[in-house]
């Protein structure tokens, strides 16, 4: 009877041995963007922690991780936005509830949250306007120097 066991030698992708598997950097970047530590990202990608740390020392790699993280945050914000719409609809529906105590609390919440949202939107608009003015001013100042 022959021995069916195989021995695995360290090769590419084995932590600390050879070159990383193709795609290991992307796998590690995705793990880092998801909030994993360098140690955990290295384990997922099948590379040594030092390799991940070397990648992170490269500005382009770090920027890629930041971009992936930003995309994930954007997707999460989109989901929260959808949830906020559903929550606002539910709260608005409670304003017509048969229990006067529930109606009062819902009406109060709608008014308070509505005012806070309005204030936030107004402040955001004012900040955008100020940023545009500063950008115009900086562009004008740079143009007059040349």
Q: What is the pLDDT of residues 95-144, one digit of tens each?
A: 999 999 999 999 999 999 999 999 999 999 999 999 999 998 888 777 76
pTM of the model as a whole? 0.52
Residues 67 and 106 in one domain: no
The reply to whether 73 and 20 lie within a common domain is: yes
* Residue 100, in any domain of the structure: yes
In a domain, 118, yes or no: yes
Q: Tell me, yes or no, whether 100 and 77 share the same domain.
A: no
Q: In this structure, are 102 and 58 located in the same domain? A: no
Domain of 120 in residue numbering reads as 95-146
Residue 26 and residue 71 in one domain: yes
Give 2-15 pLDDT, tens digit per residue: 443 333 333 334 44
Q: Indicate whether 69 and 22 sit together in one domain.
A: yes
Task: Write out the DSSP string of the chain.
Answer: -----------TTSTTSSSPPTTHHHHHHHHHHTT--HHHHHHHHTS-HHHHHHHHHSHHHHHHHHHHHHHHHHHHHHHHHHHHHHHHHHHHHHTT-SSHHHHHHHHHHHHHHHHHHHHHHHHHHHHHHHHHHHHHHHHHHHHHH-
Answer whether residue 42 shows pLDDT above 80.
yes
User: Looking at the 3D structure of the chain, how many domains does it have?
Assistant: 2
Q: Is residue 54 situated within a structural domain?
A: yes
Regarding whether 103 and 73 lie in a shared domain, the answer is: no
């Amino acid at each position: 009877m022959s021995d069916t066991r195989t021995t695995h030698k360290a090769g590419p992708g084995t932590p600390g041995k050879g070159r990383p598997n193709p795609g290991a950097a992307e796998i590690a970047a995705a793990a880092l963007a998801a909030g994993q530590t360098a140690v955990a990202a290295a384990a997922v990608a099948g590379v040594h922690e030092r390799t991940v740390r070397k990648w992170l020392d490269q500005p382009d790699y770090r920027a890629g991780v930041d971009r992936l993280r930003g995309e994930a945050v954007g997707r999460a914000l989109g989901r929260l936005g959808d949830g906020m719409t559903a929550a606002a609809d539910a709260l608005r529906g409670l304003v017509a509830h048969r229990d006067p105590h529930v109606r009062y609390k819902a009406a109060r919440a709608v008014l308070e949250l509505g005012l806070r949202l309005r204030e936030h939107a107004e402040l955001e608009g004012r900040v955008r306007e100020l940023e545009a003015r500063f950008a115009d001013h900086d562009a004008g100042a740079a143009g007059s120097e040349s």
